[in-house]
Structure 1
Amino acid sequence: MMSQEIAVQTSESKKTKHLILSLLFDAIGYLSYGIPFVAELTDVVWAPLAGFLLARMYKGTVGTVGGLTVFVEELLPGLDFIPTFTITWIYTYLIKKEK
């Protein structure tokens, strides 16, 4: 019984950590909007880093697809507003969990 409680706490802790990191990383992606003409340069640096981070946070197919998605989304102009990290969190912890 005690180990089951610890497992639930660990799972909730991981869920909360992923939510905080997802919100933070999406906010970092939005920062490029604040600096006109520098946004494209920062996106070139942020895109591969964001893809790597998302793939490491969410294992398996979800991480791979999410990592590729955020990479492409950050490189293409005008798509930085999409909160890919947070959408992945919602899919992982709310939608996928229900299935």
Structure 2
Amino acid sequence: MKTLNYNLLLKGLFFDAVGMLTMAIPVIGPFLDLAWAPVAAKQMTKMYPGRKGKFASILVFVEEILPFTDVIPSFTLMWAYTFLLKPQSERKLKTIPIKINN
């Protein structure tokens, strides 16, 4: 399970870096953001399925579309929320039903 967590972190760092690189290109950068925003939103949904992933994909889409917000590491923040900040009780745990005969 730890490997999966760190794989998601590495992917997130990569996608955050790609999103931030568009700021380095003076004239073309904002237009690249228009192309990158839907791709980033799709990747967020793939990486974090479910309701929170959909909400995060909307946030990353808006963050990538708006100018000067590329410095926000959305993927890394979502990873930190999912694996570090989210209470243990909210994490999906697999339970094994046990039938007790009296």
Category of TM-score, reference length = shorter chain? 0.7 to 0.9
Residue 44 of structure 2 contacts residue 56 of structure 2 at CA under 8 Å; is this kept in 1? yes
TM-score (norm 1): 0.86
Structure 2 gaps, min length 5: 90-102
Number of matched residues? 89
Cα distance in 1 for partners of 2:23, 2:65 equals 13
Residue 62 of structure 1 contacts residue 88 of structure 1 at CA under 8 Å; is this kept in 2? no
TM-score (norm 2): 0.83
- Mean CA deviation greater in 84-93 or 59-68: 59-68
Structure 1 gaps, min length 5: 1-10
Structure 1 segments of 4+ aligned residues over 3 angstroms from their partners: none
Matched, 1:49 2:39: yes
Could you tell me which residue of structure 2 aligns to residue 75 of structure 1?
A: 65
Matched, 1:61 2:45: no
Q: Secondary structure at the match of 1:36?
A: coil
Q: Which has the larger radius of gyration?
A: 2
Question: Alpha-carbon deviation of 1:62?
Answer: 1.7
Q: Secondary structure at the match of 2:86?
A: helix
Q: Secondary structure at the match of 1:92?
A: helix
Question: Alpha-carbon deviation of 1:60?
Answer: 0.9
Cα distance in 1 for partners of 2:49, 2:83 equals 13
Residue 44 of structure 2 contacts residue 53 of structure 2 at CA under 8 Å; is this kept in 1? yes
Mapping of residues 14-29 of structure 1, within 5 Å: 14-29=4-19
Could you tell me which residue of structure 1 aligns to residue 83 of structure 2?
A: 93
Q: Comparing both structures, which one devotes a greater share of its residues to helix? A: 1
Q: Percent identity?
A: 39
Question: Alpha-carbon deviation of 1:98?
Answer: 3.8
Question: Alpha-carbon deviation of 1:97?
Answer: 4.3
